[in-house]
Amino acid sequence: MATSRCGKQRQPLLHSPTPADANGGGAAKRRRFVSFLAVTAALVASYHLLVPTNSSHYHALFLSLGSNATAAAHLRALTLRPHVAGTEANAATARYVLHAFSSLSFPAHITPYSVLLSYPVHRSLSLAAAPGLAARPFSLVQETYKGDPYAEAAAEVLPTYFAYSGSGSVTAEVVYANYGHNEDYAYLASRGVDVVGKVALVRYGDIHCEDMVRNARAAGAAAAIVYTDAKDFGGSAAKGEKRKWFPDARWLPPTGVQVGTLYYGNGDPTTPLWPSCAAGDDCERLSMEELDGSEEMPGIPALPVSARDGETILKAMGGDVAPPKWQGGDGAPVYRLGPGPAVLNLTYIGNETLATIENVFAVIEGKEEPDRYVIIGNHRDAWTFGAVDPNSGTAAMLEIAERLSKLQAKGWRPRRTIILCSWDAEEFALIGSTEWAEENMDTLASRAIAYLNVDISVFGPGGLMPRATPQLDELIKEASKMVPDPDEPSQTLYDTMMRHHPPITRVAGAGTDFAAFVQHIGVPSLDMSYGLCK
């Protein structure tokens, strides 16, 4: 969120993959993606300033070793239960990854940190009675579908919430603010719509939820509701046909909710720009009073709600008709700006508490330059089951580790040391990777060659989608030439990638775990996935 922040504009998967999901149509794409990532890592670890060594034999072996069934088994094991950072279920995934690494030929270990995480204690939302409007409470529940084989596990999903939301109760009229840009609030002001003291209703898309709530607070709103509009995430249907959603299509169901974090920084909120420590150790921290008064915290209560709930609120609103670009899709009601007559009663109480997170590492020592590091990273925690984000990436990384172990058995050693990293608490604020980077900043600044990130490995049809700093462009192209395209086996990933404009985009922002390496340390970095290409 991730993202993994919210606002990544993808459907949060609420269900673990079935055996058919794990071994079905995505198998070839998963296999090719693993091969691409493995070859890229090998090239970075084995090359000297992009000049080939005599390791081409081992590079070729990457494409022949391993089985997609292994990655599928990892994916299923990691997604059997929801595993939010700081929970017992997520600690179990850390033990799983540690065991997977340790069962190979590599030394592996866990590095824990005690960090500030945020969980919901109480949520309530209702429309108050008004002239011509009956009072209506919202259940704030994501419904499972009939016959869902994972309904019991889905009951473990945390209630929908925004991490680090301000706690409090607000009763106020509603104002519709489109996607919550500053420009949207400027438009409301130009129309004479007063947002001060009101509840801002905004829809997902364009910007991250922390920006939406931050902008609502800056406009004077007392609280914010962020809903998922069917226009953006509910799919479409041909005229006369019924719209479909999960499990019959990839779109978010009417009661589906996107959750996320509202903290505006990276890393443990109590240790900004310096490392946290393990539970029981002493380290400098900001107090809760200092945090509550900081610009990094949202400062107002906020809740994410479903498309159905958002539409219900919009139907109860009056005022001027919103401009055409602010309207919903086919079949949606007319969106109006407000304020009122709809009045919302909103209460959110959260629990911000120090909790233990666990980064898991495996190290493959380099033969010629052991003090130079190629780092492969992927986060492990998820808001729910994490079948795509992030554990499709974790499964790929564990498959790569197994291939590297098999190569070692055949006499291979990387020129440089490879560090495999399973990050924790990415969804809250890139916490695991940021704390480790802060703790090891001087060493990484002098020794890290590259950071290769894979948050989501495969999420649909399409093609390879690499984002990188310019130093890695040629390596990406070279690695992609070595891997057949899963949709067009007569061509390579390079052939199809080069059709995109641009074929390689730049890593930017702080949407996933490359942020600390690029922005704090300046390590050449790559983030990659396979799916729908824009």
CATH number for the domain spanning 206: value is 3.50.30.30
In this structure, the answer to whether residues 133 and 90 fall within a common structural domain is no
Partner residues linked to 527 by β-bridges: 453, 467
Domain that holds residue 514: 55-106+365-530
1 pLDDT above the threshold of 50: no
362 pLDDT above the threshold of 70: yes
pLDDT tens across 219-249, in order? 999 999 999 999 999 877 666 678 889 888 8
How many CB atoms sit inside 10 A of residue 502's CB? 9
pLDDT tens across 78-99, in order? 999 999 999 999 999 999 999 9
d(CA 334, CA 331): 9
| Helix 27-46 × helix 391-409 angle, to 10° | 60
Mean pLDDT for the chain overall: 88
Q: Which of 405, 419, 490, 493 is nearest to 449 (CA)?
A: 419
Could you give the dihedral angle defined by the CA atoms of residues 278, 1, 156 and 344, in that order, rounded to the nearest 10 degrees? Answer: 110
17 pLDDT above the threshold of 50: no
pLDDT tens across 312-328, in order? 999 999 999 999 999 99
Q: Which of 181, 162, 160, 175 is nearest to 222 (CA)?
A: 175
Residue 318, domain member (yes or no): yes
Residue 410, domain member (yes or no): yes
For residues 502 and 50, the model is more confident at 502
- The fraction of the chain above a pLDDT of 90, given in percent, is 68
In this structure, the answer to whether residues 68 and 203 fall within a common structural domain is no
Residue 309, domain member (yes or no): yes
In this structure, the answer to whether residues 371 and 511 fall within a common structural domain is yes
The CATH code of the domain that includes 430 is: 3.40.630.10
In this structure, the answer to whether residues 447 and 486 fall within a common structural domain is yes
pLDDT-derived band of residue 526, with 50, 70 and 90 as boundaries? very high
pLDDT at res. 189: 98
pLDDT at res. 486: 81
Contacts of 180 (CB under 8 A, 6+ apart): 200, 202, 203, 207, 211, 212, 213, 215, 216, 224, 226
pLDDT-derived band of residue 510, with 50, 70 and 90 as boundaries? confident
pLDDT tens across 398-418, in order? 999 998 998 898 888 899 999
In this structure, the answer to whether residues 102 and 123 fall within a common structural domain is no
Residue 50, domain member (yes or no): no
Segment (H or E) for 269: none
Mean pLDDT of 520-531: 92
pLDDT at res. 411: 87
Segment (H or E) for 299: none
How many CB atoms sit inside 10 A of residue 245's CB? 20
Question: How far, in Å, are 74, 201, 469 from residue 389 at the CA level?
Answer: 14, 27, 22
d(CA 486, CA 15): 26
209 pLDDT above the threshold of 50: yes
In this structure, the answer to whether residues 253 and 332 fall within a common structural domain is yes
d(CA 456, CA 261): 19
In this structure, the answer to whether residues 497 and 387 fall within a common structural domain is yes
Residue 193, domain member (yes or no): yes
Where does a domain end: 328, 352, 376? Answer: 352
d(CA 419, CA 376): 6
Q: How many domains does the chain have?
A: 2
In this structure, the answer to whether residues 343 and 404 fall within a common structural domain is no
pLDDT-derived band of residue 206, with 50, 70 and 90 as boundaries? confident
171 pLDDT above the threshold of 70: yes
Partner residues linked to 140 by β-bridges: none
20 pLDDT above the threshold of 50: no
Residue 185, domain member (yes or no): yes
**Cβ pair 91, 418 in contact under 8 A:** no
Mean pLDDT of 447-473: 90
Say how many Å lie between the first and final Cα of the chain, rounded.
20
Amino acid residing at 402: E
Where does a domain end: 330, 352, 374? Answer: 352
In this structure, the answer to whether residues 334 and 374 fall within a common structural domain is no
- The 8-class DSSP code of residue 11 comes to P
pLDDT-derived band of residue 365, with 50, 70 and 90 as boundaries? very high
77 pLDDT above the threshold of 80: yes
> In 179-296, where does DSSP find H-type helix?
182-190, 209-218, 230-233, 288-292
pLDDT at res. 6: 40
Strand-pair category, 136-137 with 108-127? antiparallel
9 pLDDT above the threshold of 50: no
pLDDT at res. 11: 29
As a residue count, the chain comes to 534
Q: Which of 61, 65, 93, 68 is nearest to 80 (CA)?
A: 93
pLDDT at res. 53: 45
Partner residues linked to 31 by β-bridges: none
Contacts of 146 (CB under 8 A, 6+ apart): none
Mean pLDDT of 453-462: 83
In this structure, the answer to whether residues 99 and 161 fall within a common structural domain is no
Mean pLDDT of 523-534: 82
In this structure, the answer to whether residues 186 and 100 fall within a common structural domain is no
Contacts of 266 (CB under 8 A, 6+ apart): 429, 430, 431, 434, 510, 515, 516
48 pLDDT above the threshold of 50: no
| Catalytic (active-site) positions | 426
Least confident of 48-57, 201-210, 280-289: 48-57
pLDDT tens across 466-497, in order? 999 999 999 999 989 988 888 888 999 899 89
Q: Does this model's pTM top 0.75?
A: yes
Cα torsion 377, 380, 385, 391: sign: positive
Where does a domain end: 352, 384, 403? Answer: 352
pLDDT at res. 393: 93
Amino acid residing at 57: H
Least confident of 97-101, 125-129, 394-398, 454-458: 454-458
Assess whether the previous peptide bond of 82 is cis (omega < 30° from 0): no
Residue 10, domain member (yes or no): no
Mean pLDDT of 26-33: 66
Residue 500, domain member (yes or no): yes
Cα–Cα–Cα angle for 353, 141, 20, rounded to 5 degrees: 95
The three-state secondary structure class of 213 is: helix
**Cβ pair 337, 66 in contact under 8 A:** no
In this structure, the answer to whether residues 173 and 264 fall within a common structural domain is yes
Contacts of 450 (CB under 8 A, 6+ apart): 44, 374, 375, 471, 472, 523, 524, 525, 526
